[in-house]
Copies of this chain bind each other. A is one copy, B any other.
Amino acid sequence: MTERVFLVIGAGAGIGGHAAARFSRGGYHAVLARRSDDAGLARLVHAIEEDGGKATGTLLDAAADGSIEELVDRVERDIGPIHTVLYNLGAQIGNRTLGDTPHRTFELGWRLGCFGLFRLAHAVTPLMVARGSGTILVTSATAAVRGNAGQHSHAAAMGGRRMLCQTLNAEFAPQGVHIAHVVVDGSVDAPDTLGKLLGERFEAYKAAKGEDGVIDPGALAETYWHLAHQPRNCWTHEVDVRPFTDAPWWNDNPIPAIDTKSK
């Protein structure tokens, strides 16, 4: 018997893992794919099963030719139809000057941040269109809507991704496939990404942000769940999230005492 599948590409202990847990609690078979750390992956799968849910873990080199395509085929054949897929990969590398951003880094940013989503859409949209339904959730970042200094690779990849989400939506929404682009405009309590970027400073960083100063990926997973279950007469394409203490990307922070810029 086949089951309704929630597939997450980029399943670390942060957003991806929590989304998998949320959808499994809602009755989905969660399939978690990530690049490395077999043990970490097994822990996520085990925790879902302990909680009474169903989950399958798999390692995936998303940048490799055919890898995403093979995964989609395998899941559909062995587990069940993909109802919702969450593309949760990025290639944030911290701030780098242009001179310190080699060609291959820029290209890898695009391969993971933009081309991978294109390949995923190629693989899943024919299945979803044939079924007349399906949801593609895309975790995105502030870099998708503005390019900060030092973000050449990340912003170019995310900006392309955002436009790609719009072209996918324009073609596939009328065919019943929901595409949602989620602008995560704040730090996430994600040990496998931000945690690794900050290293031993991670706990101090979170403490400095104060209570509720960092996005709880479990809270974000509720928004993903909500998006994936909006009836098709009322679909969201773009939504932003951030902690209440964070200034949105469009605001100055801090506010200048005198507004000389006529802001």
Chain A residues with CB under 8 Å of chain B are 90, 92, 94-95, 97-99, 103, 106-107, 110, 114-115, 118-119, 121-122, 125-126, 141-152, 154-174, 176, 178, 184-188, 194, 197-198, 205, 212-216, 219-220, 222-223, 226, 230-253, 255-263
A150 to chain B, nearest CB (A): 6
Asked, given contacts A98-B121, A166-B147, A234-B220, whether A258 binds B158 with beta carbons under 8 Å apart, the answer is no
Provide a sorted-by-A list of 25 A–B residue pairs whose CB atoms are within 8 angstroms: A95-B257, A98-B122, A103-B118, A110-B114, A141-B261, A143-B263, A145-B250, A147-B165, A152-B167, A156-B161, A156-B163, A156-B164, A156-B167, A158-B163, A159-B162, A173-B244, A194-B260, A197-B260, A222-B226, A223-B236, A226-B226, A233-B244, A234-B241, A235-B243, A238-B239
Query: Which residue of B has the minimal Cβ distance to A253?
Result: B252
Q: Which residue of B151, B173, B233 is within 8 Å of A215 (Cβ)?
A: B233
Give the residue of B171, B194, B231, B255 whose beta carbon is less than 8 angstroms from that of A170: B255
Q: What residues of chain B lie closer than 8 Å to A176, measured between beta carbons?
A: 244
9 closest cross-chain pairs (CB), A and B: A159-B163, A147-B166, A160-B160, A149-B170, A147-B167, A219-B234, A146-B250, A155-B163, A141-B262
Across the interface, do A92 and B259 meet the contact criterion of CB distance under 8 Å?
A: yes
A233, B173: Cα distance in complex, Å = 30
Q: How far is the CA of A214 from the CA of B233 in the complex (A)?
A: 6
User: A98-B121, A149-B251 known; A198 and B258 CB under 8 Å?
Assistant: yes
Known: A118-B156, A141-B262, A235-B243. 15 other contacts (CB 8 A): A94-B258, A141-B261, A147-B162, A147-B165, A147-B167, A148-B167, A148-B252, A148-B259, A150-B255, A169-B248, A174-B244, A194-B260, A237-B240, A238-B240, A246-B261
In this complex, what residue of B is CB-closest to A97?
B171
Q: Is the CB of B223 within 8 A of A230?
A: yes
Of B121, B148, B239, B245, the residue contacting A239 (CB under 8 A) is: B239
**Could you tell me if B261 and A187 are in contact, using CB atoms closer than 8 angstroms?**
yes
CB-based nearest B residue for A213: B233
With A122-B98, A125-B98, A243-B235 as contacts: A185 and B230 at CB distance below 8 Å: no
